């Protein structure tokens, strides 16, 4: 195996190779040919040719290796500075949330010390100096509700029916100003503390539909609404919003829809039932049992969005809405993620 400039060799191995190169220099000076030198030193003739060329250009110093440039190391003072920067939180360094990931630490090391680390090398560096991947605790700036408000996601035991149209799973979720917890790197034996807003009016509501049809690309259709606590402002989605979302799905998918959702009270309102009955030619509805979120693919979509807002120290509700919309838009362009959410339920699409 060939290693560039000493990479992958122990100190003893590098010293032995230096002796071979110095012996090659002595044979160059005595006028031996490359093939004779390669045979005597048990190295490739191409290596001897490369050494001879460098010897002619820079003498003996040009033949000696420069060591391993692929294994940079930070000194103790540099590591201490890195730890101080990590303790200042990612917000100080331009990230919106307060999660230290390996990729972010790697990015931080570059401009600080002008040293390039791999993700694996960053992991080894942090582990070696007493850092671990852990669940932080949240500390609110002021007393308040302090709990993540999420929409009720309920589903139940069901099977997918074979049909000529689209099978659509629907669910809702919500997010307040207090973000969900997300893992971050911190010192071993010392729980990381993430400072978040303990108070703040408003809530972001999300309604989504994951759409599947054999032979077609999976789709995600969603709607997002803000509630800022103003007078006469709806707190979430109403039956008209679900009606409009279904009409949008019908236009976008261009085929009959088999809708699968839970039994929340809003889904059972009289106007919505009348709308479903009036459009029975293209809309069929199945109600899931009272509680089985593990059978609804929308639970997976919610988890993907939740991952992006973990430990997010949002300035206002608009920032949360922006992050949620951006993540949902990204998922729309990743049908493999939508398929993965269905696979996670264990349900199988019949052809």
Nearest to 242 by CA among 270, 267, 279: 267
How many CB atoms neighbour CB 45 within 10 A? 14
Q: Does 273 score more than 50 pLDDT?
A: yes
**pTM for the full predicted model:** 0.54
Backbone angles phi, psi at 312, to 5 degrees: -75, 120
Q: What is the pLDDT of residues 31-52, one digit of tens each?
A: 899 999 999 988 899 989 988 8
* C-alpha–C-alpha distance, residues 111 and 106, integer Å: 10
pLDDT higher than 70, residue 156: no
Q: Buried b vs exposed e over 78-109: b needs ≥16 C-beta within 10 Å?
A: ebeebeeebeebbeeeebbbbbbbbebbbbbb
pLDDT at residue 157 greater than cutoff 50: no
Q: Distance between CA 25 and CA 253 in Å, rounded?
A: 74
pLDDT at site 307: 78
Segment 119-124 mean pLDDT: 86
Residues 183-241 pLDDT 10s = 777 777 777 776 666 555 678 888 999 999 988 899 999 998 888 877 777 778 888 99
Query: pLDDT at residue 160 above 80?
Result: no
**Average pLDDT of the chain, as a whole number:** 79
For the cut 50, the answer to whether the pLDDT of residue 153 exceeds it is: no
Sheet containing 219-227: order of strands = 219-227, 203-212, 166-175, 257-261, 283-287
Per-residue model confidence (pLDDT) at position 259: 92
Give the span between the Cα atoms of 227 and 221, in whole angstroms: 20
8 Å CB contact between 149 and 182: no
Summarised one tens digit per residue, pLDDT across range 50-80 is: 888 888 888 887 787 765 555 557 888 888 8
**Is the model's pLDDT at 4 over the cut of 50?**
no
Partners of 210 in the β-ladder? 169, 220
């Amino acid at each position: 195996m060939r290693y560039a400039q000493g990479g992958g060799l122990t100190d003893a191995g590098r010293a032995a190779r230096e002796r071979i190169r110095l012996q090659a220099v002595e044979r160059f000076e005595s006028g031996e040919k490359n093939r004779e030198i390669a045979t005597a030193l048990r190295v490739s003739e191409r290596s001897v040719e490369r050494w001879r060329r460098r010897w002619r250009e820079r003498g003996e110093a040009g033949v000696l290796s420069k060591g391993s440039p692929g294994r940079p190391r930070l000194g103790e003072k540099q590591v201490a500075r890195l730890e101080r920067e990590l303790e200042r939180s990612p917000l100080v360094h331009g990230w919106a949330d307060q999660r230290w990931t390996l990729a972010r630490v790697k990015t931080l090391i570059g401009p600080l010390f002008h040293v390039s680390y791999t993700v694996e090398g960053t992991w080894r560096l942090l582990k070696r100096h007493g850092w671990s991947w852990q669940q932080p605790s949240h500390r609110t700036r002021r007393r308040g509700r302090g709990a993540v408000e999420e929409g009720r996601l309920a589903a139940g035991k069901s099977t997918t029916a074979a049909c000529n149209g689209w099978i659509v799973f629907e669910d809702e979720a919500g997010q307040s100003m207090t973000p969900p917890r997300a893992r971050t790197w911190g010192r071993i034996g010392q729980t990381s503390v993430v400072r978040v807003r303990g108070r703040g009016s408003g809530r972001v509501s999300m309604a989504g539909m994951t759409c599947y049809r054999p032979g077609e690309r999976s789709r995600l259709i969603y709607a997002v609404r803000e509630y800022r606590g103003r007078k006469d402002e709806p707190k979430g989605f109403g039956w008209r919003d679900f009606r409009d979302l279904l009409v949008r799905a019908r236009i976008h998918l261009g085929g009959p829809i088999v809708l699968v959702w839970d039994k929340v009270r809003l889904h059972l309102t009289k106007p919505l039932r009348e709308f479903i009955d009036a459009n029975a030619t293209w809309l069929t509805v199945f109600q899931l049992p009272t509680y089985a979120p593990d059978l609804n693919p929308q639970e997976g979509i919610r988890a993907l969005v939740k991952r992006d807002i973990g430990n997010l120290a949002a300035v206002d509700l608009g920032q949360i809405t922006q992050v949620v919309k951006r993540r949902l838009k990204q998922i729309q362009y990743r049908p493999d993620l939508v398929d993965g959410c269905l696979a996670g339920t264990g349900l199988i699409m019949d052809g």
